[in-house]
Structures are given as structure tokens and as C-alpha cells.
Amino acid sequence: MRQSQLFTKTTKTVPKDEVSLNAKLLIQAGFVDKLMAGVYIILPLGFRVFKKIENIIRQEMDLVGGQEMFMPSLHPKANWDKTGRWQNMDDLFKFKSYYSKIDVALGPTHEEVLSPTAKKYIASYKDLPFAAYHIQNKFRDEKRAKSGVLRGREFMMKDLYSFHADQKDLDKYYEQVKKAYFKIFNRCGIGKKTYLTYASGGTFSKYSHEFQTLTEAGEDIIYICDKCRAAVNKEIMADQKNSCPECGNKDLREAKAVEVGNIFKLGTKFSKPFGLTYKDKTGKDQLVIMGCYGIGLQRLMGTIVEIMSDKNGIIWPEAVAPFKVHLISLRQNKKADKIYKDLEKAGVEVLYDDREDVSPGAKFADADLIGCPYRLVVSEKTLAEDSVEVKLRDSDKIDLVKLGDIVDKIFKL
């Protein structure tokens, strides 16, 4: 894409109430804009990152057999009354539809929608197991929407729900999803800093699990067992007698972290209120056993920014970068145009800084702020050597690459 066409620009202006590093960088670089506390617009650059994260998640969910669908945000009160969460969930947005006269909630999660829907299609044990997911906007009336895009009042979430005939089948599937989650975080470039933590399982399960990524911006405290690469959430440390749930190790390391995903064995918590049952082989009615599995997209994007940036801007991992290459023309658009076209033709995603009234210094600063993995510079100096300057975002080393070799070189990087 030609940068001269991109309608957003980098900016030095950040809203006064914005204290988090992730939102500051994302706003300055033109990935998001703040509409109100906890509510962000995803601008075209941010949208490209979003789609890449979304596609990584979608691929991994499809691989564990998730069937993609799309559920609404408007939920009738009746469904939330059944589970008691109309009263008990603090951060539920609730209001009345003026014309239909009914009370509605804005969905923060979808057990109250999918459980009764699944009931329509589940009759016998032969209809189980299955899993369904959607990637959809969620709403939570957060007490304090701070931490930038890490904790929003509105945010995109992938939520997968699984339905099983028995606990053993859920346990097996749960382990598959656990692996899929690690693959997602690895592919998004935060795998090394992400730990599986033991969290409270509520009343139905001994544990739930969270995926916590180490960052000073995190709102959670976890205790890491370096032997097992597992960790424990602070909330259950006392119950755990301050030891690792996997090996009993008591030498745990405290760290701040942000929850980037969570998986939960729901058991019959939602099948019971909705009467979600199936006939087993003997013809007896049994409650369906459920699991749920969430990942917040803005939070994942914000976490990547928190842990991968320097004083000059963001350093995107290639898999989720808005563009692979940032091509900068220093008053050499004729030559740069051809390189741009050659790269695009070869299928390389390029942000091409073809702007004519912007100084070299400002172009370099923009490239660092936006943070594409590879910076190519075409200038009088590089052309004198029939070359293009190539620099990685996270390195100071600069290479000169011959014009004829540039497409090949990019594929080898």
C-alpha cells in the first residue's frame, strides 16, 4: 500500500488519560484511535494486524474441529435469568428495547446463547462431541477501563465452546485446545513469555487454566515454577500451599503478567439450567459436559506491543505485522515505484512510503514507530551503488542489496 494513500498518519498527540504503553504506541503509530474510555477504533493499519491474529486463531480452531459461526450481541434477559448471571454479573451492560419492551443484555460471553441453541440439535450420544466458536465483539461495563487495549469495555473475542458426553471426553479435548493455544501464542510471537497458569476452577472444577504473558503492564501476579514451565495465579496460591501443582516445587518466582487466554471446564454449569441433555446408550437422559475457551484479540495485540517495542516504536513479529516490508523512497519514487511493484507482484506485503513532502528523518521515525520487520531505503546514495538499503527493525545492521536481488533477498529474510 502507498503510504500517501493511507488516510491515517502517525501523531505525537495521545489523549491525556491514556497512560498505558500499548495504547500510546498504537495511537501514535496510527493503529487505533480512542473513541472513549475502554473503546477503541481499529484503524486500517491495526485492522491488518487484527486480521492476521484472527486468521492464526481461526486456523488453529479449525484444526481442533471448531465449527465457526456468529452469535448476536443482543441477548434476552430470560436466558441470563436462567443462569442467575443477570443479577450476579457486575459488568453486564443491561437495557430495555423501547419497541419490543424486553430487557436485553449486551453479550460479554455466549454460554447463555449457545447452550439453548445446542439443545435444539442434541438428542442422543451420537450427536456428541462437537465444538463451535465465533470471533465476535464482546461488551463488559468495566469498573475502570485502564491498561489501554488490554482491558476494554468493547473488544473482539474468540470464544470456543465444546460439548461432550462425559468428563473423560472433555478432558481429552481440553488438552487438545491447550496445545492449540500454545501454538497460537507461539505463532503470534509471544510464546516464550507465555505460561500456562493454574487458576481457580470455580465450584465445578479443581482448576481452570490461564495463559499469562510476562509484562510489567500486566494486572495479574503469577508464581512461576521454572522446573515445569507452569505457574500459579496469586488467587489460588494459598490453596496450593505455595507450591507448583505439577511437581510440588516450592521455589516459585513472582512475576507480573497479563492473561491472554483462558480455558475452563464448565462441567454441567450451563447444561443444567438449560436442560441440555442427551440420551445415552441405555436411553437414559444425561447432562452434557461443556468446556469453554477464550482469547481476546485487542488484548493479544496490546500484549505483543507491550513486550515488543523500544523507545522508537513497535517491533512487530512478522506473522502479525501489518506489512512485511516498509519501503522508503528518499526522493527516488521512479526507481522505488518499480521495486514496490516487483515486491507486490511477488506477493510481498509492502507499505511504500512514497510521500513527497516528508523529510527523510520523519520517514525513518515513522518506519520505527509503525514497526514493520524489514525497512528498505531507496536513495540517491543507494542507487549510486545500484542497490537498496535493507535493515531489520530489531537490528542496527544495514545491508546493501543489489536492485536485481531484492525480491529474492526478501524471501530469504
* Among positions 18, 47, 182, 365, the unique one binding a second copy when judged by CB under 8 A: 47
Q: Which three cell numbers stand for residue 271?
A: 447444561
Q: Find cell 489460588 and name the residue.
A: 236
The DSSP bridge pattern shows strands 66-68 and 130-139 to be parallel
> Are the C-beta atoms of 239 and 274 separated by less than 8 Å?
no
State the binding string over 86-125 for a second copy (x if CB under 8 A, else -): -----x-xxx-xxxx-x-x-x------x---xx-xx----
Of 75 and 193, nearer to a second copy (C-beta) is: 75
Q: Which three cell numbers stand for residue 265?
A: 471446564
Q: Does residue 16 interact with a second copy by CB under 8 A?
A: no
Q: Does residue 72 interact with a second copy by CB under 8 A?
A: yes
Of 128 and 390, nearer to a second copy (C-beta) is: 128
Of 136 and 200, nearer to a second copy (C-beta) is: 136
Q: Find cell 481476546 and name the residue.
A: 296
Q: Does residue 247 interact with a second copy by CB under 8 A?
A: no
> Are the C-beta atoms of 276 and 288 separated by less than 8 Å?
yes
User: Which residues pair with residue 293 across a beta bridge?
Assistant: 160, 263
* Among positions 357, 395, 397, 412, the unique one binding a second copy when judged by CB under 8 A: 357
DSSP 112-143: HHHHHHHHHH--BGGG--EEEEEEEEEE---S
Q: Does residue 143 interact with a second copy by CB under 8 A?
A: yes
> Are the C-beta atoms of 339 and 376 separated by less than 8 Å?
yes
Q: Which three cell numbers stand for residue 141?
A: 461495563
Say whether the peptide bond before residue 322 is cis (omega within 30 degrees of 0). no
Of 163 and 195, nearer to a second copy (C-beta) is: 163
* Among positions 25, 26, 29, 42, the unique one binding a second copy when judged by CB under 8 A: 42
Q: Does residue 293 interact with a second copy by CB under 8 A?
A: no
Q: Does residue 220 interact with a second copy by CB under 8 A?
A: no
Of 32 and 377, nearer to a second copy (C-beta) is: 32
d(CA 88, CA 103) in angstroms, rounded, equals: 16
Contact positions vs a second copy (CB under 8 A): 5-9, 11, 13, 33, 35-44, 46-47, 50, 65, 67-76, 91, 93-95, 97-100, 102, 104, 106, 113, 117-118, 120-121, 126-127, 130, 132, 136-137, 139, 141-145, 153-154, 156, 163, 357
